[in-house]
């Protein structure tokens, strides 16, 4: 249920979200989206506090119909909404990592012969991005990686 929204029809962000939520009962939760653009990009649900290089660029909207579709439920429960709210935050963190180039891969060679490779690891926390789950244990031991740190 995507509708085009013309920002010129509103006096500001508060007016826009107020009107959207009044006219679209499917919206059950929203968060503002802010962008910081200075020698790189960062995106967040929280203001960066820099009036020159940052500001609000939109909203992250949670719709009841989308929760039903994604979770395969007829009736949305409070725990579904709370789960979806957490997923909005994770989604924003993931996109911010992508914007900042925190995307990793590895390629394994033995005696210059290709062995294996894998990519798509997003985020700098090795214990959360999944890379340690995919690198053979003998490699992590050889690199002296323990608890997300090289020792």
Percentage of the chain exceeding pLDDT 70? 93
Taking only the tens place, the pLDDT of each residue in 62-93 is 999 999 999 999 999 999 999 999 999 999 99
In 10 A of CB 62, how many CB atoms?
18
Judge whether 41 and 99 are in contact, CB under 8 Å.
Answer: yes
pTM, two decimal places? 0.80
Mean pLDDT of 7-26: 91
- The pLDDT assigned to 1 comes to 47
């Amino acid at each position: 249920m995507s509708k085009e929204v013309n920002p010129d029809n509103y006096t500001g962000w508060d007016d826009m979200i107020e009107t959207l939520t009044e006219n679209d009962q499917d919206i059950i939760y929203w968060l503002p989206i802010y962008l910081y653009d200075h020698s790189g990009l960062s995106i967040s649900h929280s203001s960066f506090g820099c009036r020159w290089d940052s500001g609000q660029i939109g909203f992250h909207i949670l719709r009841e119909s989308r929760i039903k579709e994604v979770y395969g439920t007829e009736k949305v429960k409070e725990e579904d909404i709370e789960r979806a709210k957490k997923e909005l935050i994770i989604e924003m963190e993931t996109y911010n990592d992508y914007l900042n180039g925190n995307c990793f891969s590895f390629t394994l060679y033995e005696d210059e012969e290709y062995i294996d490779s894998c990519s798509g690891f997003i985020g700098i926390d090795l214990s959360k991005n999944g890379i340690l789950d995919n690198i053979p244990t003998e490699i992590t031991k050889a690199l002296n990686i323990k608890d997300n740190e090289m020792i």
